[in-house]
Amino acid sequence: MNILERYHAMEYGPAPEARTEADAWLAGRDFGKALFIDGGWKAAASGKTFGTSEPSSGKLLAKISDAGAADIDAAVAAATKALPKWSASSGYQRAKVLYAIGRSMQRHQRLFAVLETIHNGKPIRESRDIDVPLAIRHFIHHAGWAQALDKDFPGHKGVGVVGQIIPWNFPLLMLAWKIAPALAAGCTVVLKPAEFTPLTAILFAEICERAGVPKGVVNIVQGGPEAGVAIVNHPGIQKIAFTGSSEVGKIIRKATAGSGKKLSLELGGKSAFIVFEDADLDSAVEGLVDGIWFNQGQVCCAGSRLLVQEGIADALIAKVKVRMSRLRVGSPLDKNTDIGPLVDATQLDRVKGLVAEGARQGAVCWQPDAVLPSSGYYHLPTLATGVSPANILAQEEVFGPVLATMTFRNTEEAVELANNTRYGLAASVWSENINLTLHVAPQLKAGVVWVNGTNMFDAACGFGGYRESGFGREGGREGMFEYLSAKLPLGPVIKPTAASAQPVEQSDGGAIDRTAKLFIGGKQVRPDGNYSLAIATAKGKLAGEVGLGSRKDIRDAVAAARACKAWPEATAYNRSQVLYYLAENLSGRAGEFTARLTELTGANAKAAREEVEQSIERLFLYAGLADKYEGRVHQPPARAVTLALHEPVGVLGIVAQDSAPLLGLISLIAPALAMGNTVVAVPSEKYPLLATDLYQVIQYSDVPAGAINIVTGPTAELAGVLAKHDDVDGLWLFADADTCAKAEADSVGNLKRVWTGNGRSFDWASDEAAGDALLRRAVEVKNVWVPYGD
């Protein structure tokens, strides 16, 4: 037999990773005292424990302390006590601690990898070569951010005590994504690992002891729903960071509404894997294996929807089936294993149920002819063809090794299919034509897009989603902002608006009566209900009437804003010119607006003129920044560049306060427009005539129809409609505390981004109320990974 014959005759032999050290660690620890609080190990106050098992066998690994509300109280108290000293420490001091954590993890990275594989079920090649090195990378990378904080984030400081809840699919990596930026920012942490996979978090707590992390700065509390609820609702926590399902994310959004807590959510996904007819099919198949069968498909950004151009569909599917038949399903500790077990029996049952339902709805589900291990929670890789866009396998996150396949004819249809989901976490685009891929990437409603690759991550590059995949970013500069706060120019508490009383006196003179209409789709339109509101002057006389907007009017305005493609597709330079033109035309009518402000608010002429001039200046500011607030190019330690693109949030609802009614409205609308958003604005309820006077200025300033829509009426009612509307992508709201809290709670339908004053007004005349602080809220950051080289 010659060498070539021997090569083809070779059989895979088992290549097990030794688990001796991990088993010794498991045997040598008292997991009944596994809560790491205030630098010490404690049992749960209730004495309760829960069992955690090995997915490949179902065998019990340990009985872990089960934290309850009392333990969360203790952890938060420890974090609160440690916060002043930790936040006051220099960036260099925090950097040394972060670096020490990273170096200590490097010394124990084999133990981390083996323990992660035993406990989670992912193949050892993945935990050894991806998860653990990337977790270490995050701590060392963020050591640099800690030291550069004052220079790169002037005026910002750590948000305070942070509650963090992480999932079971990447136990150590998600811990690193959460804890590293929090510590760099000067925050202290209370982190709850998933019930299924708490072991590497316990090992990490040991690392914190050895690395010199001060007592109380990092607290690790294992537990179930009771512990999670206690963290979310705890009044001593200033920020919640959650990674998990969209359903739980919505519950957390509702629970934190009105609390003032900062919130970041990294949730589910149904990512598209788009293959065009000129793609390298062999490379695409390998990418697909990584995209959907990495970690058994238990990945929030898994490429679970294969969209393939019709002309190559048969050829690609044939290659995929051949490759699937060669995937090795088996012990996760075997270095040759491609697919290990799912994390738990409940997850296995869920995946089986979804596959069965997908088949019932018409999908053809194919699996390779392979024998599964006799024990453990294994599921064969599954390819579903003939999938309709409405099939459950195309719409729901399976979180298992299941790939749903659909075809498309042209680029437009590919983009439409890719965006036909309520999620928006990631996507992968395959083509040898880089122009095509970079044409498609900005059109995809996803926070991360990989070009001719998949599952590329780095600490320097932000990760996070659009839509129901959550909001906020992890990693990179944008990830640091999630753990920082800046002093906001808050004004007095906003009181709920009382029911309007009719003016006592009619206005003097013989002017022709005029009722201001609504402004929707570039036209002045009557309100749907044909009712109006009387608006009083500062002296109680009738100043005029405005249309009483309703739910139907908001719907019409949102539809007009969504239909306006000219504004978001305009270049930043074009938007800049229009905003300059708005400022120019407002300047030409400065006298009229000064008089109106004086009439309505009672301000003296000098103060009114100053507000008008500041409004014009604010338009000038954002006109100038429209083509300057740009993204970045990251250079991760890989043969790739990452384009961090600034994209508009979409349709923004804006609700302005009564104080500084002209300046406040323009200070909100201008940055939203500068970044390419379209706007549905509800102006001051008390002084709406200042907004209706803007209609003509808008009309003759070349603003495309639908870019700005204005609906006058009661703040609380219209804010509620905007919050519930699933075609509104973001909401900026300055109203009384109850209205703000209700809007945050009502936003869960599509998890829109909501920014409120939490019942406080803003000093819009201050420098802090303009510039980057507003622009950052007006954009989504999309990270597009572009590999290079052979």
Q: Which residues are tagged catalytic?
A: 266, 300
Residue 276 and residue 307: Cα distance in Å, rounded? 9
Beta strands in 237-322 (DSSP E): 239-243, 262-266, 272-275, 305-309
Helix (H, G, I), strand (E, B) or coil at 492: strand
Measure Cα distances from 471 to 104, 578, 745, 762 in Å.
32, 30, 15, 24
Q: Tell me the one-letter amino acid at 14.
A: P
- Euclidean distance between CA atoms 92 and 685, whole angstroms: 50
What tokens were used for 396?
A: 């729901």
Q: Measure the CA–CA gap between 490 and 484, rounded to whole angstroms.
A: 17
By three-state DSSP, how is residue 580 classified? helix
Check the CA dihedral 774-775-778-782 and report its sign: negative
| Cβ–Cβ under 8 Å, residues 497 and 508 | no
The radius of gyration computed from the CA coordinates of the chain, to the nearest angstrom, equals 28
Q: What is the rounded distance in angstroms from the CA atom of residue 237 to the CA atom of residue 407?
A: 47
Report the alpha-carbon angle 452-456-459, nearest 5: 145
Which of left, alpha, beta for 760 (phi over 0: left; psi -120 to 50: alpha)?
A: beta
Q: Would you call 225 helix, strand, or coil by DSSP?
A: helix
Give the three-state DSSP class for 539.
coil
List the beta bridge partners of residue 544.
535
The CA distances from residue 606 to 588, 597, 598, 600, 602, in Å, are 17, 11, 9, 15, 11
Compute the distance between CA of residue 172 and CA of residue 161 in angstroms, rounded to an integer: 21
Q: Who's near 207: CB < 8 A, 6+ residues apart?
A: 101, 104, 105, 108
640 and 787 Cβ atoms separated by less than 8 Å? yes
Q: Provide the residue type at 761 as one letter.
A: S
What tokens were used for 198?
């708490």
Query: What DSSP assignment string belongs to 603-621?
Result: --HHHHHHHHHHHHHHHHH
Handedness of CA 244, 248, 253, 255 (dihedral sign): negative
Tell me the C-alpha distance between 316 and 650, whole Å.
35
User: What span, in angstroms and rounded, lies between the C-alpha atoms of 380 and 296?
Assistant: 9
Give dist(CA 776, CA 54) in Å, integer. 44
- Token pair 């420490």: residue: 89
Question: What are the distances in angstroms from CA 391 to CA 280, 306, 361, 395?
Answer: 28, 14, 6, 6
